[in-house]
C-alpha cells in the first residue's frame, strides 16, 4: 500500500501489522494521529525513519500513540525512532515496563 496523507504534513502507510509514519508531527496533526489510531487494527511494528517530531507537544502525542499501540500487542517494535521519542519513552518509564523494542534509533537534533 502506498502512503496517504492522514492530515496536513503527516503521511501514513499500513501494511499488515506495520504502520509507517512520515512527515512532520506537530501539535495540531498529533491530535489527529491519536484519534485515528483509536480504530486501527493491531500494529506490531512502527516505522519512523521519515518522521520528524517538531516540538514538545508533538512528542507528547507520539508517546501517547506508542502507549496506545503497545497496549494492544505483547511486543511493539519501533524502527528508526527519533532520538526525542526514545528519550521520552525512557523518561516516562515505558521502556522499563517492557514490550517495546527500539531498533536503529536515530540521533536527531533536538526540536525547537
Hey, what domains does the chain have and what are their CATH numbers? 4-103 (3.30.750.24)
Torsion of CA 37, 40, 44, 49, to 10 degrees: -50
Question: Among residues of the chain, what percentage have pLDDT more than 70?
Answer: 92
In the structure, how many helices (H) and strands (E) does the chain have? 3, 6
In the block, residue with C-alpha cell 511493539? 76
pLDDT score recorded for residue 3? 65
φ/ψ region of 65 (left if φ > 0, alpha if ψ in -120 to 50, else beta) reads alpha
C-alpha cell at 48: 519512523
pLDDT score recorded for residue 107? 76
Q: Which residues contact 63 (CB under 8 A, 6 or more apart)?
A: 85, 88, 89, 92, 94
Q: How do residues 17-63 score in pLDDT, each as one tens digit?
A: 999 999 999 999 999 999 999 988 899 999 999 999 999 999 999 99
C-alpha cell at 82: 527519533
CA nearest to 46, candidates 60, 29, 63, 31:
63
pTM attached to this predicted model: 0.89
Amino acid at each position: 500500500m502506498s502512503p496517504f496523507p492522514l492530515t496536513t504534513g503527516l503521511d501514513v502507510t499500513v501494511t499488515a501489522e506495520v504502520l509507517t509514519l512520515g512527515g512532520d508531527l506537530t501539535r495540531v496533526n498529533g491530535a489527529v494521529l491519536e484519534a485515528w489510531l483509536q480504530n486501527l487494527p493491531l500494529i506490531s511494528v512502527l516505522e519512523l525513519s521519515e518522521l520528524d517530531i517538531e516540538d514538545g507537544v508533538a512528542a507528547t502525542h507520539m508517546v501517547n500513540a506508542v502507549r496506545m499501540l503497545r497496549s494492544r500487542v505483547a511486543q511493539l517494535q519501533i524502527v528508526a525512532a527519533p532520538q526525542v521519542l526514545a528519550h521520552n519513552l525512557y523518561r516516562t518509564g515505558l521502556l522499563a515496563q517492557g514490550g517495546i523494542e527500539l531498533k536503529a534509533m536515530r540521533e536527531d537534533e533536538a526540536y525547537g
